[in-house]
Amino acid sequence: MVLGGSRSGKSQFAEEIATRSDKRVTYIATAAIFDEEMAARVKLHRERRAKDWLTIEEERNVLEVLNQGGEGDIFLLDCATVWLSNLLFYQQSLAPNTPAQAIEKQLMAMVTDLTETTKSGLDLIVVSNEIGLGVVPEHYLGRLFRDLAGKANQLLATRADSVYLVVAGIPMEIKGGFPK
């Protein structure tokens, strides 16, 4: 697991880990493009990626993509918080009056399922934003997302063999060790 703030270098570090694995890499990109600024961000990520990696752009059905993998495969999920926000907004569009506890239960079940995918022998590198260090969001949905992301990061980090926090482009090991 690779955590960090916006533009911290977390994706680049995760890509370095994937490259060093010498395995076939499947890159799962979760960002939806709704404006020019996001299109520019996605373009930078696409250009930086190794040309021999398989890239799957999937905003919500990440678990289906991972279920196609098996022993010896390595997946790089970039990023878990974008995936969660996609799921949260999708849930809100389907049922806008769903209580926060029900949303949290549903989405955390999906995060738990994500942590279980490695039982099939595939390797998973998860990039995630550390968003809980800032101000408390003014809007209910922003607070729900911040809390959900924090709980998801805790679960993912607990189940991960290695966890890194990237700050200003510098990765700091907070659990485990650099994969061989």
Over range 135-163, report the average pLDDT: 93
pLDDT digits (tens, 9 = 90+) for 14-49: 999 999 998 999 999 999 888 999 889 888 888 888
Catalytic-role residue among 23, 24, 41, 45: 45
Angle between helices 36-48 and 10-20 (to 10 degrees): 30
- Specify the residue for token string 């079940």: 109
Domain ranges for the chain: 2-175
Whole-angstrom distance, CA of residue 32 vs CA of residue 30: 7
Report whether pLDDT(113) > 90.
yes
User: What are the E-state strand segments in 18-122?
Assistant: 25-29, 54-57, 74-78
Over range 125-137, report the average pLDDT: 91
Going by their DSSP bridges, the two strands 2-4 and 163-167 should be labelled as: parallel
Q: How far is CA 104 from CA 84, 138, 147, 150, in A?
A: 10, 19, 9, 12
Whole-angstrom distance, CA of residue 117 vs CA of residue 69: 9
DSSP characters over 123-158: EEEEEEE--TTSPPPSSHHHHHHHHHHHHHHHHHHH
Asked about 45 being catalytic, the answer comes back as: yes
Place 140 in a pLDDT band, splitting at 50, 70 and 90.
confident
168: left (phi over 0), alpha (psi -120 to 50) or beta: left
CATH superfamily entry for domain 2-175: P-loop containing nucleotide triphosphate hydrolases (3.40.50.300)
Using alpha carbons only, what angle is made at residue 15 by residues 9 and 16, rounded to the nearest 5 degrees?
Answer: 90
DSSP characters over 2-34: EEE-TTSSHHHHHHHHHHHTTS-EEEEE-----
Place 179 in a pLDDT band, splitting at 50, 70 and 90.
low
